[in-house]
Chains A and B, each alone.
Chain A
């Protein structure tokens, strides 16, 4: 019953999406207020029904209803409750339903927070989002129905992949989708502006908070994915440039370029056509990512089980949505007015340079990800493009962008002089160079890339301080008062940039100064790494809810003092028989000690053990966290909230100026 209810809810949601798209878009075209007003309730209704469908699927998982095919394929009765819940999105069908749910959520959010928009704009934005919902809901119903029955019902499920039975599974997909899918709002705003032909500065102001919030969620989602892989995969790596990782990283790069470009469009009215194109690109990359992961076109650890029929459907959908948006762009491009002038080192110029570098980096990642496909499709053979390529290409490209982060925020709009900036920052430059040279001397040796990273990180951090110092020079009141009156947009930007600095420093450290040892440990033997002493006390048998484990005990000491006891495990899961290593990760201030069990060697309890020391790895997560908080802060700047408040005072039936 419940699965059928869920299935029915999806059908109703599709009907509502049709109404949400067709009526308001037509109404905006005709200036018909009544039709335009359908947008909001339709979006909210669609959200309700998709949420209902999602709840039905989640319920089926929670109660172990193995007569539902999706539950039988992805769950198991012994699975802990929380993972039975997350199994809802652990498959292609389920995660697609999550995608649709989050899209409906954003649509409903726009319907609530859009009172300050002209009615036709709001109608078009919600309408375009409705079009996207139609595509995905149809795809779900036609090729990927999560409510399909399995009759007769299975006795038990196939079990969930052990790698998914982790904290990361609970938060990474929802946060990632909030970001990924959230770019649909920026996309819809861009399309609405292109359709109406109204490309004014107000459009940039309206899109900006939505875009920044989506970007913040995407940053969070990617960080969580990386953190999860680091803990779960057992070899201490945190980024592999796998096609699926790239599929989420590319929209992030485009989104970063977009939020910076929007700043110029909002403040100075410049780069309109470029900003619109970026808004289209960011979401197009999200759609592209969805295609790559689900079509079988690229080989990835993360790819869902593939089916060419599904791939064809998504590709067709992609072609229509993205192709259509680009036709619209090409049509309207000549009408977008160029903005004001600016000089070589003005903020506009530096932001444009930032965009150029980010897009070049985006191009590099896209090229590397798709090149094997290009070659294969042209019969030129098969190659692999992996971390060595991406690292070699991406890091040098990003370095200048990181350097610009130290200058851009300090440059004035419209006109700024390089000598002026140099004077203000020369002390920061000196300190950064000093850190780059001296810091490696306290570590294991000089690594040029690490030094570059330290230089850039220090440079950016000092630029943030300099920005605060300059702002706080003026104004009255105590330091605290002055800080409190600084706009949130300023705080957000500085915090996000600072987060980047922290992240870069962490990466420089962990990529160049990590150490590891692979040792055979008898019971009561010890090994040393990075000044820590690891004593192996043997293993015990330990049964989890759905697995059996050999649980190791390792005492970690420094300078003779025991600081921790770690319990890495080697597990075998009951249903699938799959084995997995559950590493023990222990933070030591900002670094990590990471221990993973290898193989059992003999009957006396000896094991091979891998020990890792990961210096400053936690600065990666910390830096990302600052970026996320910075994003949310910037989006909550009062000029957006004033607009919201003011919108409640303006009567709604103003500005229905038609196409």
Chain B
């Protein structure tokens, strides 16, 4: 019977490889799911004398979109975010990540501002505290301030409908 062992081992491996073709080895799941969103206090891009903090959003379901003016993929999801903002859906906070050239204000003025608030994370420290590796990355945070979902990459209308909307509804927005 041990003559069949090599074949069996091989077939098991093939099974894993087949599954592997549908996975992305670079997509890293977030360890924050189910944990409290890390606290921070950052000045706003539109009004540096004011600040934003996740505690400000306690009591409602909200979305944090990590973006940057130099990020090309972020432009892709911008129209969708504008739509959501105009329809009065869940508030979107746009964490402005590592915008050294400080172009955020002008860009938003030109293309429109879908964000409830735009805190400025110049050196990226808050991003690191959230496990951000690039832009855009988007988090759903619930009424108690706990992170419930993270999406890496631009949000397409499809992704919004199939991933975000159900989750937001579930959290009782």
Within the complex, are A and B direct neighbours (CB within 8 Å)? yes
Q: Are A373 and B3 in contact (CB under 8 A)?
A: no
Task: List A contacts of B23 (CB < 8 A).
Answer: 297, 373, 376-377
Chain B proximity of A53: nearest CB distance (Å) = 29
A474 CA to B104 CA, complexed, in Å: 87
Of A60-68, A324-332, A345-353, A611-619, the segment with at least 4 beta carbons within 8 Å of chain B is A324-332
Our pick among A277, A312, A326, A372 for the contact of B21 (Cβ within 8 Å) is A312
Q: Is B11 an interface residue (CB 8 A)?
A: yes
A382 with B28: in contact, given A326-B7, A333-B3, A377-B23 (CB under 8 Å)? yes
Chain B proximity of A275: nearest CB distance (Å) = 14
How many A residues are at the interface, by size bracket?
A: 20 to 34
Q: Is A298 an interface residue (CB 8 A)?
A: yes
Q: Are A318 and B28 in contact (CB under 8 A)?
A: no
Q: Is B26 an interface residue (CB 8 A)?
A: yes
A382 with B14: in contact, given A330-B7, A376-B20, A377-B19 (CB under 8 Å)? no
Task: List A contacts of B21 (CB < 8 A).
Answer: 295-297, 308, 311-312, 315
A281 CA to B24 CA, complexed, in Å: 28
A373 with B16: in contact, given A315-B21, A333-B3 (CB under 8 Å)? yes
A319 with B7: in contact, given A298-B25, A376-B20 (CB under 8 Å)? no
Q: Are A373 and B7 in contact (CB under 8 A)?
A: no
A323 CA to B18 CA, complexed, in Å: 15
Q: Are A330 and B4 in contact (CB under 8 A)?
A: yes
The dominant DSSP class at the A interface is helix
A277 with B29: in contact, given A297-B21, A323-B11 (CB under 8 Å)? no
A264-284 residues with Cβ-Cβ distance < 8 A to B are 273, 277, 280-281, 284
Q: Are B29 and A382 in contact (CB under 8 A)?
A: yes
A381 CA to B10 CA, complexed, in Å: 23
Q: Is A445 an interface residue (CB 8 A)?
A: no
Chain B proximity of A329: nearest CB distance (Å) = 7
A326 with B10: in contact, given A308-B22, A373-B25, A376-B23 (CB under 8 Å)? yes
Q: Is B6 an interface residue (CB 8 A)?
A: yes
A382 CA to B19 CA, complexed, in Å: 15
A280 CA to B10 CA, complexed, in Å: 12
A563 CA to B38 CA, complexed, in Å: 57
Nearest CB to that of B20 among chain A residues?
A: A297
A327 with B3: in contact, given A297-B17, A318-B14, A376-B25 (CB under 8 Å)? no
Nearest CB to that of B31 among chain A residues?
A: A381
**Total A-B contacts with CB atoms under 8 angstroms apart:** 71
A333 CA to B24 CA, complexed, in Å: 39
Q: Are A329 and B14 in contact (CB under 8 A)?
A: no
Q: Are B3 and A370 in contact (CB under 8 A)?
A: no
Task: List A contacts of B22 (CB < 8 A).
Answer: 308
B1-15 residues with Cβ-Cβ distance < 8 A to A are 3-4, 6-7, 10-11, 13-14
Q: Is A291 an interface residue (CB 8 A)?
A: yes
Q: Are A322 and B20 in contact (CB under 8 A)?
A: no
Task: List B contacts of A376 (CB < 8 A).
Answer: 20, 23, 25
A371 CA to B24 CA, complexed, in Å: 15
A334 with B16: in contact, given A311-B21, A312-B21, A382-B28 (CB under 8 Å)? no
A319 with B14: in contact, given A299-B26, A373-B25 (CB under 8 Å)? yes
Our pick among B7, B18, B28, B29 for the contact of A315 (Cβ within 8 Å) is B18
A318 CA to B18 CA, complexed, in Å: 11
Nearest CB to that of A318 among chain B residues?
A: B14
A232-288 residues with Cβ-Cβ distance < 8 A to B are 273, 277, 280-281, 284
Task: List B contacts of A295 (CB < 8 A).
Answer: 17, 20-21
Q: Are A315 and B25 in contact (CB under 8 A)?
A: no
A370 CA to B17 CA, complexed, in Å: 9
Nearest CB to that of A328 among chain B residues?
A: B7
Nearest CB to that of A382 among chain B residues?
A: B28
Task: List B contacts of A323 (CB < 8 A).
Answer: 7, 10-11, 14
A281 CA to B17 CA, complexed, in Å: 17
A296 with B25: in contact, given A330-B7, A333-B3, A377-B19 (CB under 8 Å)? yes
Q: Are A277 and B25 in contact (CB under 8 A)?
A: no
Task: List A contacts of B16 (CB < 8 A).
Answer: 370, 373-374, 377
Our pick among A299, A312, A329 for the contact of B3 (Cβ within 8 Å) is A329
Chain A proximity of B121: nearest CB distance (Å) = 25
Task: List B contacts of A330 (CB < 8 A).
Answer: 3-4, 6-7
Chain A proximity of B70: nearest CB distance (Å) = 16
Q: Are A326 and B6 in contact (CB under 8 A)?
A: yes
Q: Are B10 and A322 in contact (CB under 8 A)?
A: yes
Interface string of A367-398 (1 = CB under 8 A from B): 00010111011000110000000000000000
A381 CA to B14 CA, complexed, in Å: 20
Nearest CB to that of B22 among chain A residues?
A: A308
Nearest CB to that of B5 among chain A residues?
A: A330
A372 with B10: in contact, given A315-B18, A377-B19 (CB under 8 Å)? no
A381 CA to B30 CA, complexed, in Å: 10
Task: List A contacts of B6 (CB < 8 A).
Answer: 277, 280-281, 326, 329-330
Interface string of A576-588 (1 = CB under 8 A from B): 0000000000000
A566 CA to B72 CA, complexed, in Å: 41
Task: List A contacts of B3 (CB < 8 A).
Answer: 273, 329-330, 333-334
Nearest CB to that of A319 among chain B residues?
A: B14
A323 CA to B21 CA, complexed, in Å: 19
A333 CA to B7 CA, complexed, in Å: 12
Task: List B contacts of A277 (CB < 8 A).
Answer: 6
Chain A proximity of B1: nearest CB distance (Å) = 9
Task: List B contacts of A280 (CB < 8 A).
Answer: 6
Task: List B contacts of A373 (CB < 8 A).
Answer: 16-17, 20, 23, 25
Task: List A contacts of B20 (CB < 8 A).
Answer: 295, 297-298, 373, 376-377
A329 CA to B3 CA, complexed, in Å: 7
A374 CA to B10 CA, complexed, in Å: 14
Q: Are A315 and B17 in contact (CB under 8 A)?
A: yes
Task: List A contacts of B4 (CB < 8 A).
Answer: 330
Task: List B contacts of A281 (CB < 8 A).
Answer: 6
Q: Are A381 and B25 in contact (CB under 8 A)?
A: no
Interface string of B72-97 (1 = CB under 8 A from A): 00000000000000000000000000
Nearest CB to that of B6 among chain A residues?
A: A326
Nearest CB to that of A309 among chain B residues?
A: B21
Task: List A contacts of B29 (CB < 8 A).
Answer: 381-382
Our pick among A315, A334, A374 for the contact of B14 (Cβ within 8 Å) is A315
Nearest CB to that of A381 among chain B residues?
A: B29
Chain A proximity of B69: nearest CB distance (Å) = 20
Task: List A contacts of B24 (CB < 8 A).
Answer: 296
Nearest CB to that of A311 among chain B residues?
A: B21
Nearest CB to that of B25 among chain A residues?
A: A299
Chain A proximity of B137: nearest CB distance (Å) = 16
Interface string of B24-58 (1 = CB under 8 A from A): 11111100000000000000000000000000000
Interface residues, chain B, with chain A CB atoms under 8 Å away: 3-4, 6-7, 10-11, 13-14, 16-29
Q: For the A-B complex with A330-B4, A374-B16, A377-B20 known, give 8 more contacts whose Cβ atoms are closer than 8 Å.
A: A297-B17, A312-B21, A315-B21, A318-B17, A323-B7, A330-B6, A334-B3, A377-B19
Sampled A-B contacts (25; CB under 8 Å) = A273-B3, A295-B17, A296-B21, A297-B17, A297-B20, A299-B25, A308-B21, A315-B18, A322-B10, A323-B7, A323-B10, A330-B4, A330-B6, A330-B7, A373-B16, A373-B20, A373-B25, A374-B16, A376-B25, A377-B19, A377-B20, A381-B29, A382-B25, A382-B27, A382-B29
Closest 3 CB pairs of A and B: A333-B3, A326-B7, A297-B20
